[in-house]
Amino acid sequence: MNAPIKKIVLPVAGLGTRFLPATKAIPKEMLPVLDKPLIQYAVEEALEAGIEDIILVTGRNKQVMEDHFDHAYELEKILQEKGKDDGLEVARSMLLEEGRISYVRQMRPLGLGHAIWCARKLVNGHPFAVALPDDLIKGRPGALKQMVEAYNELGGNMVASMNVSREDTSKYGVITPGEHTKNRIAVEGLVEKPHPEDAPSTQAVVGRYILQPEVMDHLSEKAVGAGGEIQLTDAMAKLIGKQPFHAIEFDGTRFDCGSKIGWLMANLSLAAEDPHMAHEIRQLITFR
Ligand code: UTP
């Protein structure tokens, strides 16, 4: 039987330069989509997938995320005194039992692979999930739950994947696909941000992963890859052929909320489904 996935690493130490000036003093992961910060969507998706331990890899100016997952005593007291029970419930909805959420600091933003490596002591030899909070995935069930279900059958390593246009392959990790059964694709190779003409396929990796702990051994080599960063893709590629490795074409829509247009589309898409907002938003924009 495959060891269950009980831990998730959420890297939140990036600089978010594509979203300046908003991200000068506010972490990208605290940008709201409608009324909820991106990091909360990721934590909720993890909990839905049965994950118990949440590990945030933070950096400078990211402390506000610790506050988000803690009591806000003043606010709670005022809401209580005013009898605003709904608000109080919302303010308390993300209070996990003490000890289930941990924070470790990436002292320099050397890349996604390096951020994951910073969590190695907390991962402590277990298989684990990773979610990039700026990739918001609308899915029922969530993408992580879909992946955990596939993992329970297949074991090994997994990435979430979706088909992109060839010119966009240079923005993603791209897989060399092997056998394709239902929504599961055997991964025979992985390359980070290839030039479109060199991309082995148009099947791109998006920000959800299930990884075996051996990936940490490869990350500890700290090899510098595409963009001068320590890339998770390069360490994952070294597991191919040694351990099962699949891409899961998840059922859902992914929004790149690290980009302005992706964030705006996520807001519009969620608003269009919200009974309190749908009418006005549909009047504003003609959805085809
Ligand atoms: P991005 O590739 O979006 O980089 O990171 P970024 O620095 O956050 O944003 P831009 O490109 O400058 O606008 C993907 C995920 O990996 C994390 C980010 O916080 C984000 O969740 N990350 C990235 C780290 O935790 N550390 C790093 O060194 C790099």
HSE-CB for 286 with a 13 A CA cutoff: 1
Tell me the pLDDT tens digit for each residue of 218-244: 999 888 888 899 999 999 999 999 999
Specify the pLDDT at position 94: 87
- Using CA positions, which residue lies closest to atom 15 of ligand 1? 132
- Answering whether pTM is above 0.85, one says yes
Name the region of 10 (left: φ>0; alpha: ψ -120 to 50; beta: rest). Answer: beta
Q: Does residue 142's CB lie within 6 angstroms of at least one atom of ligand 1? A: no
Kindly give the number of the ligand 1 atom that is closest to the alpha carbon of 18: 13
In contact, 102 and 53? CB cutoff 8 Å: yes
Kindly give the number of the ligand 1 atom that is closest to the alpha carbon of 111: 28
Tell me the pLDDT tens digit for each residue of 108-141: 999 999 999 999 999 999 999 999 999 999 999 9
Kindly give the number of the ligand 1 atom that is closest to the alpha carbon of 13: 25
Tokens of 274: 């919200």
In contact, 104 and 120? CB cutoff 8 Å: no
Say how far residue 38 (Cα) sits from the centre of its chain.
9
In contact, 134 and 258? CB cutoff 8 Å: yes
Would you say residue 288 has pLDDT above 70? no
Q: Ligand 1 centroid to 140 CA: how many Å?
A: 26
- Using CA positions, which residue lies closest to atom 10 of ligand 1? 16
Q: Does residue 14's CB lie within 6 angstroms of at least one atom of ligand 1? A: yes
Pocket test for ligand 1, best of 8, 20, 24, 28 (most atoms within 8 A of CB): 28
Directed axis angle between helix 73-81 and helix 85-92, to 10°? 160
Instruction: Kindly report the average pLDDT of the chain as a whole number.
Output: 94
**With bands split at pLDDT 50, 70 and 90, how would you rate the model's confidence at 88?**
very high
Tokens of 46: 């993890």
Q: What are phi and psi of 26, to 5 degrees?
A: -115, 130
Q: Ligand 1 centroid to 12 CA: how many Å?
A: 7
Q: Does residue 127's CB lie within 6 angstroms of at least one atom of ligand 1? A: no
**How many angstroms separate the CA atoms of 88 and 74, rounded?**
11
**How many angstroms separate the CA atoms of 250 and 161, rounded?**
7
Specify the pLDDT at position 277: 92
- Using CA positions, which residue lies closest to atom 5 of ligand 1? 14
- Using CA positions, which residue lies closest to atom 7 of ligand 1? 14
Q: Does residue 65's CB lie within 6 angstroms of at least one atom of ligand 1? A: no
Pocket test for ligand 1, best of 112, 116, 205 (most atoms within 8 A of CB): 112
Antiparallel, parallel or unpaired: β 135-138 and 203-211? unpaired
Instruction: List, in order of start, the domains of the chain with CATH numbers.
Output: 7-284 (3.90.550.10)
Tell me the pLDDT tens digit for each residue of 126-179: 999 999 999 999 999 999 999 999 999 999 999 999 999 999 999 999 999 999
Pocket test for ligand 1, best of 64, 132, 172, 260 (most atoms within 8 A of CB): 132
Run of H or E including 268:
helix 260-273
Arithmetic mean of pLDDT, 265-270: 95
